[in-house]
Amino acid sequence: MTPPAQMTAEQIAPEPKTGARLVVESLLAHGADTVFGYPGGAIMPVYDAIPGSGLKHILCRHEQACAFAAAAVGRMTRKAGVCLATSGPGATNLVTGIADAFMDSVPMVAITGQVAQPVMGTDAFQEIDTFGITMPIVKHSYVVRDPADIPAVIAEAFEIAESGRPGPVVIDIPKDVQQTAVEATMVPRPPKPKPPLDEEALRRAEAAVQSAERPLFYLGGGIMRAGAVDEVRALVERSNIPAVCTLQGLGVLPTGHPQLLGMLGMHGSKAANIAVMDCDLLIVVGARFDDRATGKLDTFAPKARVVHFDRDAAEISKLRHADVAVPCKIKPVLADFRPEAGPIDPWRAQCQQWVADNPVPYDAPGDGIYAPALLKQLSEQAGEKFVGVADVGQHQMWVAQHCNFSRPQAHITSGGLGSMGFGLPTALGAKVAEPDSIVVNVSGDGGIMMNIQELATLRRYNIPLKVIVLNNSRLGMVRQWQELFFDGNFSEVDLTDNPDFAEVAKAFGVDSFTITKRDEVAGAIDKFLAAEGPILMHVVIDPSENVWPLVPPGKSNADMMEGADDDY
């Protein structure tokens, strides 16, 4: 027998490795050095392969939090975050986070254990059809039957999750597949196809801009997903055309940019909504005409032709006919898009006048804490390192309306699904992805209770996240709608039996404090930002405070309410 030292590379067979070991090595090979997970029986072989592998594992305290935290990595880096869960309830607990990533086009790979193949289909303990349950909320999904396929499946999963219109991918791996040893090698990602560009459509888009008298950019979250922020900023500034943005498009142009009229839609700025109603050309980039942005669709931008750039051709003309459709990979195409606007100085002046005529007031009466003013002051003081991660509710809109965002990643929100409980675990994942940023989770007293157990995760890993709980002792947004649209019939929105959140945080080992008066805000922000470890600031606010402006459901964006006494 030839001694090992004299064997050639061709004579050395790959060392057999279990499917579980191949999972771990494949994740590391594709740059996923951190995963968020929760162990259980059907995923236990993978957990057996993690120690000593170099793969960092963060144990969240609920699988839903694992999915939100993993998706946060995708939101911050545009690279797929990874979560692990066992079969049955472990997999079903991931579903909300997977759906949230799907709705917001966030790259994520979710790996779930499954019962062994011989008992699949027998209603075995913790058996669930993960493939079938998640099919409507993923870009793609797999059930791995042969451990030798694992490197190729994981390589393909990352490519699918991150390419085109990003989204989540689920890989379901039976326990026996994880345990079986095979000879296999790592597999590179499949090559990225280059989508063809319709040059004629690009020229027609340029001609549409040149002939418009009142053109307006409509900027969405697809810009950040495409990594095209620099190209869009250059295009907007080169063209001198005013712009509005969606909830997910906040930060594409930094807050305060002279051409930015604000966020449009249900809780958008008055200037942005007026401009959309009056423009004669909408240049839509990476947006999908979401109902919360458009209001009553058949009244949206009634005078405008539409030029629509989007990576997902299915979104173009889905809700609003595009006069010029440009399905494309946004980043390289916008670099080649050279519109020359006509004489639009009167239009630009009119847009700026609408902004000047509709300033945001911060001088609320009384000595109580006015949440919009606190959030504005906090983001300004934190500066360009500020990353605001909102939960869902009134505070979500206050964050969008009043915080300063230097880039799209500075504003993380559950846009499409509107998932309460999103804030704390997502902020946790964002801080892991960007440890040098000042990541602030803004939650309400309703949303924080849905994943409050993640305070234990902060303490376990000493993740220096900053958490604000705006406590109005209500399900605030539901209460507001019941007040305005259900004759004040307040049903199941009273949360006055909430615990003392500062004391809860202390019980988890997280530093905390409470403020109730406006004159405490300045010192509280200083203390909050100076904290070196995780900290929670419990802020008591007026339970009757509403979010303004507001477009009532089913109404045109022209019908904005600015107070409870407005007619609707």
| pLDDT at res. 68 | 98
Q: Token pair of 554, please? A: 């089913």
d(CA 282, CA 215): 6
Q: Is 381 a catalytic residue?
A: no
Whole-Å CA distances, 551 to 284, 303, 356, 557: 21, 20, 21, 6
Instruction: Pick the catalytic residue from 108, 477, 537, 560.
Output: 477
Same-domain status, 337 and 440? no
d(CA 413, CA 427): 10
Instruction: Pick the catalytic residue from 7, 125, 135, 485.
Output: 125
Residue 489 banded pLDDT, cuts 50, 70, 90: very high
Q: Which of 447, 453, 450, 217 is nearest to 351 (CA)?
A: 217
Q: Is 385 a catalytic residue?
A: no
Residue 12: pLDDT over 60: no
Answer yes or no: is 238 within a domain: yes
What average pLDDT does the chain have? 95
d(CA 243, CA 257): 10
Same-domain status, 377 and 352? no
Residue 386: pLDDT over 80: yes
Same-domain status, 143 and 54? yes
Answer yes or no: is 109 within a domain: yes
d(CA 552, CA 562): 11
CA 101 to chain centre: 7
CATH number for the domain harbouring residue 276: 3.40.50.1220
Instruction: Pick the catalytic residue from 17, 25, 36, 63.
Output: 63
Same-domain status, 52 and 174? yes
Answer yes or no: is 317 within a domain: yes
| pLDDT at res. 4 | 43
d(CA 468, CA 427): 11
Residue 14: pLDDT over 80: no
Residue 495: pLDDT over 50: yes
Instruction: Pick the catalytic residue from 175, 329, 376, 466.
Output: 175
Q: Where is average pLDDT lowest: 70-74, 153-157, 189-193, 201-205?
A: 189-193
Instruction: Pick the catalytic residue from 44, 120, 126, 352.
Output: 126
Q: Is 175 a catalytic residue?
A: yes
Answer yes or no: is 548 within a domain: no
Q: Which residue has the higher pLDDT, 363 or 446?
A: 446
Q: Which of 74, 66, 76 is nearest to 38 (CA)?
A: 66
- Structural domain count, the chain: 3
Q: Is 1 a catalytic residue?
A: no
514 DSSP β-pair partners:
538
Residue 389 falls in which region: left (phi positive, over 0), alpha (psi -120 to 50) or beta: beta
Q: Token pair of 358, please? A: 């509709």
Q: Among residues of the chain, what percentage have pLDDT more than 90?
A: 92
Q: Which of 181, 39, 175 is nearest to 117 (CA)?
A: 175
Average pLDDT for residues 390-411, to the nearest whole number?
Answer: 98
Radius of gyration (Cα) for the chain, nearest Å? 25
Same-domain status, 339 and 314? yes
Answer yes or no: is 556 within a domain: no
Same-domain status, 381 and 334? no
Average pLDDT for residues 29-42, to the nearest whole number?
Answer: 97
Residue 3: pLDDT over 60: no
Same-domain status, 350 and 375? no
Q: Are 420 and 396 in contact (CB under 8 A)?
A: no
Same-domain status, 522 and 396? yes
299 DSSP β-pair partners:
none
Residue 11 banded pLDDT, cuts 50, 70, 90: very low
Same-domain status, 341 and 245? yes
Helices of type H across 110-149: 130-134
Answer yes or no: is 562 within a domain: no
Sheet holding 260-263, edge to edge: 260-263, 243-245, 215-219, 281-285, 305-310, 324-327
Answer yes or no: is 296 within a domain: yes
Q: Where is average pLDDT lowest: 134-138, 334-338, 452-456?
A: 334-338
pLDDT digits (tens, 9 = 90+) for 131-152: 999 999 999 999 999 999 999 9
CATH number for the domain harbouring residue 511: 3.40.50.970
Residue 502: pLDDT over 70: yes
| pLDDT at res. 1 | 37
Same-domain status, 408 and 509? yes
d(CA 457, CA 452): 10
Same-domain status, 139 and 259? no
Residue 290 banded pLDDT, cuts 50, 70, 90: very high
| pLDDT at res. 271 | 97
d(CA 180, CA 168): 27
Tell me which H or E stretch contains 513: strand 511-515
Q: Which residue has the higher pLDDT, 159 or 14?
A: 159
| pLDDT at res. 168 | 98
Same-domain status, 339 and 440? no
Q: What is the pTM of this model?
A: 0.95
**Domain residues for 525?**
371-540
pLDDT digits (tens, 9 = 90+) for 84-130: 999 999 999 999 999 999 999 999 999 999 999 999 999 999 999 99
Answer yes or no: is 549 within a domain: no
Q: Is 309 a catalytic residue?
A: no
| pLDDT at res. 13 | 57
